[in-house]
A and B are shown apart, each in its own frame.
Chain A
Amino acid sequence: MSRLDGLADPPVLYVDGAVMDYLAIEAVSALRASSAVAAARATKIEREMAQAGFVPPPPVPKPHDNRDSVGSNTARPHSYVDEEDEAIRSRLEAIGLHVGANYAEKLCRDRALFSDSLDAVKFICKELWVSCWDKQVDNLRTNHRGVFVLQDNTFKPLTRISSWEGRAETLKRAKLAAALPAGIIRGALSRMGLHGTVIPEVTAPPHCTFQIKLPKNA
């Protein structure tokens, strides 16, 4: 019987933690370069279409708006940097969505269906967090109307973020580092049938909170 268990439950394989850390760090640089290429291509197409008269010419760059950085009080010098960071952030979140959805599916394989959204979020706070980041969430709050706030006082991806360039730069990196995990949480929830948003907030790394907004009917 135990041999069959071995087939049904393949051994969990691991890689060294450092490898994952380095990949995450270099992924940001790689995505910075690739998103610039993609943006340049989009701009070129837009200009060509404008020249050919298919679309009106592109508008003058808008002044900075706060949409992409929740809870940030750091003043940004100009909106270009925000667009660049936003492009990277959204790509990291997209990667997280893919990872979270597939990974959660495996983790949930042998357990019963979730009774409600609170049950699902608790699973995220315990099983998913432990499996990805070696500990459970430190605090979970909810308004019982679809909003949950998860708090981790020593969030693993943020424990080694630092920058000699000072606090503002450190915060910028920390926000980007939280984008992939936010995507993982969002992806996991969506694979469980709960489609909402996950917004990370980092003001004092490695302390981090994630605000989950789910539809109320769950």
Chain B
Amino acid sequence: MATPSKQYKAIGEDLWKSRTEKVNAELFALTYGALVVQLIQDYEDYGEVNKQLEKMGYNIGTRLIEDFLARSSVGRCSDFREVGEVVAKVGFKSFLNITPTVTHPPPTSRPTSVQRQTSVPNSSFTLTLDENPLAEFVELPEEALEGGLWFSNVLCGVLRGALEMVQMQVQVEFLSDVLRGDETTELRVTLLKYLEEEVPMGDE
């Protein structure tokens, strides 16, 4: 039987409490914000900045997952639904001290604007962030709004990188962001496929 979500919540909180090195969230937010501004100045293209933030996040994610696996005793998730629970309640909690709400879409597929090539049914979850430590003091100028900047796009990369290291190829995208004037900040994580570990020839 899968671990009930209340237990994951407790695991996340314990992990957060046991962390010895904590950094003031304001320092973090200020640093990230200034970095985004610098990237905008250098690239002069919001689409490119989104891509670079995601790439940066990917690199961070591939390291972060090792840290996560080392410090937490969470075992292998039995299905993608459980992955969502662990990411929200243990992952986000132990690194950013926030617990986004996880929602899973109903089993029947809805028509979407983007073709999603996924071989696995019931394979996505949405994270709703009530608070976003990255965006603490941020207000986006008109230009950035029109240019399509996803300020916290680094988070998409982090999730993609981290999950790839545990054999899941995912697509992560922002659906909405309060910085852009939306009601909520939502991330959707879609499983594209499981990455098989290499099996030697002749093995069955």
Contacts and interface: CB of A to CB of B under 8 A. Distances in A.
Secondary structure call for the A interface: helix
Which among B23, B25, B33, B56 has the greatest number of chain A C-beta atoms within 10 A?
B23
B64 interface: yes
Contacts of A23: 28, 31-32, 35, 60
A26 B56 contact: yes
Contacts, number: 114
B30 A20 contact: no
Interface residues of B, number: 38
A29 B56 contact: yes
Contact of B97 (A16, A22, A103): A16
B56 A102 contact: no
Given A20-B27, A95-B38, A13 B133 contact: yes
Nearest to A38: B42
A30 B52 contact: yes
A180 B30 CA distance: 12
Interface residues of A, number: 35
B56 A27 contact: yes
B34 to A, nearest CB: 4
Interface in A1-48: 12-20, 22-24, 26-27, 29-31, 33-35, 37-38, 41
A16 B19 contact: yes
Given A18-B95, A34-B52, A99 B59 contact: no
Interface string A85-129: 000000100110011001100100000000000000000000000
A65 B95 CA distance: 43
Contacts of B27: 20, 99, 103, 131-132
A21 to B, nearest CB: 9
A131 B114 CA distance: 46
B26 interface: yes
B42 A22 contact: no
A16 B59 contact: no
A171 B130 CA distance: 42
Contacts of A24: 31
B112 interface: no
Contacts of A102: 26, 30, 137
Nearest to A24: B31
B60 A14 contact: no
B42 A15 contact: no
A31 B137 CA distance: 22
Given A34-B39, A35-B42, A91-B38, A14 B97 contact: yes
A41 B24 CA distance: 36
Contact of B43 (A14, A34, A91, A103): A34
B38 A31 contact: yes
Contacts of A16: 16, 19, 21-23, 94-97
A15 B96 contact: yes
A37 B43 contact: yes
7 contacts: A14-B25, A15-B95, A17-B21, A20-B28, A23-B31, A102-B137, A180-B31
Given A15-B96, A102-B30, 9 more contacts: A13-B24, A14-B25, A15-B133, A16-B19, A19-B64, A23-B31, A26-B59, A37-B42, A95-B34
Interface of B: 16, 19-28, 30-35, 37-39, 41-44, 52, 55-56, 59-60, 63-64, 67, 94-97, 133, 137
